[in-house]
Structure 1
Amino acid sequence: MSYSAKLFSAVVAGLLSLMAPMAGIVHAQEVDLSPEQKGRVRAEKVEAAIKLIPADYKFVTPGKFTVASVPGRLPFAAYASDNKTPVGSEPDVAQLVADSLGLQLELVPIAWADWPLGVVSGRFDAAIHNITVTEERKEKFDFSTYRNDLLGFYSPLNGKVTSVSKPEDVAGLKVIVSSGTNQEQILLRWIEANKAKGLAASEVQYYDDEAVLDVALQSGRADLYLGPNATSAFKASKDKKTKLVGTFSGGWPQTAEIAVATKKGSGLAQAVTVALNEQIKNGNYAKLLSRWSLTAEGVSESRTNPPGLPKK
């Protein structure tokens, strides 16, 4: 980050620190953070899915579907007002699957790094938290897809950019992205491709503080923000300050999908896939996506172990 950018960040951070308490109150009022989650979409049993559960499969706790959850940021998952119950889009997906299988949902809050060993060791029946299907992960896990993994370009509501659908569209623009991320690597590849075509260079900006990032975008210091579409879409729907101007796969140029992860060879994945497809068919799935502003990432069909992102 340049000296001027750092100075800008420091000044804005100071101002925002005075506004943060009130902003937090407003945000809390807009989102249901109650542990009861009365607005959560529920489902009836899906007998076709229940019949696919292997007779010898032993759930972590009989009668319960034990799922690893990673509370951290909405819409995926965060702690409810009781500071112990995970709520968000991923707990909602877990609830739909549990209901379909005729089981009680048991969510176990964990750190992201703990889900792979937890599923393999049998601590959890499944992990549901924005997990992308990759060929490497398929060596240890079975997957049942339920969402497209999308990245999104967002601009201010009154911004000059109205559409981004190809690398050429970012030529000459100032784009915010997080360092060390997949989206940064994709953006840098786009910029190099534009450079080879003789197009105008793009300015890449990095901000460690999300609040400072927001001000940079709203003030015109940057034209676009590139990040995970799910979190940006949820934020845009609540704050009403940004608009989506383009999405593409998180595995660009390959397609990437988000899925329920179960232990490889456990036999549970096919039952989960059938359960998800019934919820897609009956409309519950669409209601869930709408609740968390994730409609753009919806799939028309759940698939078991589709092609994943290739190994590096």
Structure 2
Amino acid sequence: MLSRTRLLAPVFFATLLVAAGASATTQFDLSPQQSGRVRADKDDALVRSIPKDFHFVDDGVFTVAVAPSGVPPIASYATDAATVIGADPDIAQLVADKIGRPLKLVAVAWEDWPLGLVSGKFDAVISNVGVTEERKLKYDFSSYRQGLHGFYVRKDSPIQKIAEPKDIAGLKIITDPGTIQEKIIVEWDRRNQEAGLKPAEVILFDDEAASSLALRSGRADAVFSVNAVQSYQAAVTGETRLVGTVNAGWPLTTDVGVVTRRGSGIADVVTAALNEAIKDGKYKQVLDKWNLGPEAIPQSRTNPPGLPKY
């Protein structure tokens, strides 16, 4: 069963965070100063490996585009409503540190990064961009995180695990309309019904605020949505918990990658920088700082397999 509820409440999530302000300020630094940002040491071997014919946009700096969303933890605005903070900016900082260049973050609209990268406005894009075979025709990727969706339930829920289609049989599941996660949950439900299991009730909400309210009020059993946002909300409010993750590419797998210009030669350097950060523990510190530990990858790869073009 599929039901749709359109509740547009753009300020609700911000209100929720304010209401939980004490725990938010304790667990997450949303200040523009980012005094606790994880930093890495310059790697001279990496600096020497930068291709001689690669020209940085600005001399002496590493210019990275990021598209801030409305909520942490991947990339959002700090409390000054101007400085971009989050896990992706912190990953960008690690790469910049490793190649010995100050980081220059450029906030862009999501739809503007492809043209900006190709036209040479920035050296890389680090903005939760999933690796796909179609995108690889135009860009190079250096993987740095899994793309995950998560199942979250109320903290006092009897549900302990949702790992496969049969686990949602008979449940009321909230998800986001017109998204990959909606396609996944609908397919899981279809398979269950073919197998004679109870149908799930799939409830569609347009924003995290409305889905959060519905879950906490008991109108649904679980939320299935972007893990990063749900993870942050769980840590801030203490009212929900993770019971399972599904790769965004299900039934395949896909990673999120640093995007660079195709054939520019810098992708292998970025990949090596990420692997050094994984090796020395700085990468883990960044993900743990933003409560994204489950999305860690063991190794960065240049142009790993991506989602196929359908």
Q: The TM-score by the shorter chain falls in which range?
A: over 0.9
Contact kept? 2:3, 2:203, Cα under 8 Å: no
Judge conservation of contact 1:177–1:205 (CA < 8 Å) in 2.
yes
1:79 matches 2:92: no
- Matched residues in 1 for 2:210 and 2:260: separation? 39
With over 3 angstroms needed to count, the CA separation of the structure-2 counterparts of 1:280 and 1:211, relative to structure 1, is same
How far apart in 1 are the matches of 2:107 and 2:262?
Answer: 22
Structure 2 residue matching 1:187: 3-state secondary structure: helix
Contact between 1:52 and 1:270, CA under 8 Å: does it hold in 2? no
**Following the alignment from structure 1 to structure 2, what is the Cα–Cα distance between the partners of residues 2 and 282?**
47
* Aligned twin of 1:220: 218
> In terms of mean alpha carbon deviation, does 111-120 or 47-56 score higher?
47-56
Match of 1:60 in 2: 57
Residue of structure 2 in register with 1:50 after alignment: 47
State the TM-score, normalized to the length of structure 1.
0.92
Question: Does the 8 Å contact 1:97/1:276 carry over to 2?
Answer: yes
Identity %: 49
Q: 1:272 to 1:83 in 2, by over 3 A?
A: same
Contact 2:145 2:295 in 1 (8 A): yes
Distance 2:17 2:39 in 1: 34
The more displaced of 152-161 and 203-212 is 203-212
Cα deviation, residue 70, structure 1: 1.1
1: CA distance, partners of 2:84 / 2:17: 23
2:301 and 2:42 map into 1 onto residues whose CA distance is 20
After TM superposition, give the deviation of residue 93 of structure 1 in Å: 0.4
- C-alpha deviation, 1:248, in angstroms: 1.4
SS in 1 for 2:186: helix
> SS state of the match for residue 296, structure 1?
helix
Structure 1 residues 280 and 21: alpha-carbon distance in aligned structure 2, compared to 1, 3 A threshold: closer
Q: Which runs of 4+ in 1 moved over 4 A?
A: 19-22, 24-28
Q: Which residue of 1 aligns with 2:92?
A: 94
The residue aligned with 2:36 is: 39
| 1:134-187 deviation digits (Å, cap 9, x = unpaired) | 000001111101101111101001112110111011000000001000000010
Give the match for residue 138 of structure 2: 140
CA distance in 2, matches of 1:297, 1:157: 21
- CA–CA separation in structure 1 for the residues paired with 2:143 and 2:3: 41
Counterpart residue identity of residue 64, structure 1: V
Q: Cα gap change, 1:298/1:265 in structure 2, threshold over 3 Å: closer, same or farther?
A: same
CA shift for structure 1 position 266: 0.4
Aligned-pair distance for 1:194?
Answer: 0.5
The one-letter amino acid paired with 1:191 is: D
Aligned residue identity for 1:45: K
Cα distance change, pair 310–215 in 1 and its aligned pair in 2 (3 A): same
Amino acid corresponding to residue 285 of structure 2 in structure 1:
K
Distance 1:22 1:298, change over 3 A: closer
The equivalent of 2:245 in structure 1 is 247
Alignment partner of 1:255: what SS?
A: coil
Q: Secondary structure at the match of 1:51?
A: helix
In the TM superposition, residue 50 of structure 1 has moved relative to its aligned partner by 1.4
Structure 1 residue 46: deviation in Å? Answer: 1.4
Structure 2, gaps ≥5 residues long: none
Cα shift at 1:56: 1.3
Give the Cα–Cα distance (whole angstroms) in 2 for the partners of residues 225 and 114 of structure 1. 30
> What are the equivalent positions in structure 2 for 1:230-269 lying under 5 Å apart?
230-269=228-267
Deviation at 1:80, TM superposition (A): 1.9
TM-superposed CA distance for 1:28, in Å, is 6.1
Paired residues, number:
304
Mapping for residues 1-312 of structure 1, pairs under 5 Å: 22-23=18-19, 25-26=21-22, 29-30=25-26, 31-72=28-69, 73-312=71-310
Q: Secondary structure at the match of 2:50?
A: coil
**Greater alpha carbon shift after TM alignment, 46-55 vs 84-93:** 46-55
Distance 1:304 1:208 in 2: 35
Give, in whole Å, the separation in 2 of the partners of 1:20 and 1:151. 21
Q: Residues 226, 107 of structure 1: CA spacing in aligned structure 2 closer, same or farther, 3 A cutoff?
A: same
TM-score by length of 2: 0.93
Q: Is the Cα contact below 8 Å between 1:152 and 1:228 reproduced in 2? A: yes
Paired residue type of 1:37? Q
